[in-house]
């Protein structure tokens, strides 16, 4: 599932983009932003995979907001598709290594071309981040020390169900608690490298021992349901799906 945020100050244009994205079966739309400041707030709350970003917005411009987000750690940075009424701004878009840019009003054929570029880029990212199945083995440290900013929590890796970035923190979910830490998802993944944890999606690290079921989704992706009390559903990318099944089989 592709998590997307639209950052666009013009309501008509924003509604048009919402309309076409809602037709894409593998896209989950997060709340939209009307300013650069709102985008930054929403990004750290929802951690989208991609931002459809208007170049010109009140306050912080789209380009400036994108520059701030590209300063994040690798793996936390979103992809960008810029939207603009002027093709002169395409150069700025590609300076930030945007996936693509869309001219207003949107051409549907061009929109679908951008979506395919986006999916291809996400697949490449998934392949780079996915571990080798042979690395998923139970031979790691017996205890983890998690600093939540006020105290150090001693935690056995088996107690962790999954971890996901939230705003500028990392949520580490156990059966009964959510531990907030300033470590990155990559740092936690490294600490847990000797255990059966898998990056099922660029924003999720999951304990495979706590999976209850796997449901096919769209375009080779899946969703997994965990055994926790909330029966949490977590996306699995196409590349990670193969590794997951290779391990479970």
Strand partners, 80: 51
- Distance of alpha carbon 111 from alpha carbon 64, whole angstroms: 24
Assign 232 a pLDDT band (cuts: 50, 70, 90).
very high
- State residue 223's pLDDT score: 92
Pairing assessment for the beta strands 222-226 and 197-201 based on DSSP bridges: unpaired
Q: Per residue, what are the HEC states of 26-66?
A: CEEECCCECCHHHHHHHHHHHCCCEEEEECCCCCCCHHHHH
Assign 132 a pLDDT band (cuts: 50, 70, 90).
low
* CA atoms within 13 Å, Cβ hemisphere of 195: 25
Residue 105's contacts (CB-CB under 8 Å, 6 or more residues apart) are 13, 16
- State residue 18's pLDDT score: 93
- State residue 135's pLDDT score: 57
- Distance of alpha carbon 227 from alpha carbon 25, whole angstroms: 26
Q: Is the dihedral of CA 24, 115, 69, 152 positive or negative?
A: positive
Query: What are the structural domains, with CATH classification, of the chain?
Result: 2-129 (3.40.50.2300), 135-248 (2.40.50.1020)
């Amino acid at each position: 599932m592709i998590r997307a945020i639209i950052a666009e100050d013009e309501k008509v244009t924003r509604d048009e983009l919402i309309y076409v994205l809602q037709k894409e079966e593998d896209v989950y739309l997060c709340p939209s932003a009307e300013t650069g400041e709102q985008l930054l707030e929403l990004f750290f709350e929802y951690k989208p995979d991609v931002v459809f970003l208007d170049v010109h917005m009140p306050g912080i411009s789209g380009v400036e907001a994108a520059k701030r987000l590209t300063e994040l750690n690798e793996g936390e940075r979103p992809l960008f598709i810029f939207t603009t009424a002027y093709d002169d701004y395409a150069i700025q878009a590609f300076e930030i290594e945007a996936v693509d840019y869309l001219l207003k009003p949107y051409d549907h054929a061009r929109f679908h071309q951008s979506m395919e570029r986006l999916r291809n880029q996400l697949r490449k990212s998934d392949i780079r981040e996915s571990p080798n199945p042979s690395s998923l083995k139970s031979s790691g440290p017996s205890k983890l020390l998690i600093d939540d900013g006020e105290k150090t929590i001693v935690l056995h890796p088996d107690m962790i169900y999954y971890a996901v970035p939230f705003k500028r923190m990392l949520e580490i979910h156990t059966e009964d608690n959510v531990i907030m830490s300033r470590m990155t998802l990559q740092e936690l993944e490294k600490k847990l490298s000797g255990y059966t944890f898998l990056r099922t999606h660029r924003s999720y690290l999951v304990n495979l021992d706590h999976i209850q079921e796997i449901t096919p989704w769209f375009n080779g992706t899946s969703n997994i349901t965990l055994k926790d009390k909330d029966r949490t559903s977590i996306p699995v990318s196409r590349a990670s799906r193969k590794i997951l099944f290779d391990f479970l089989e």
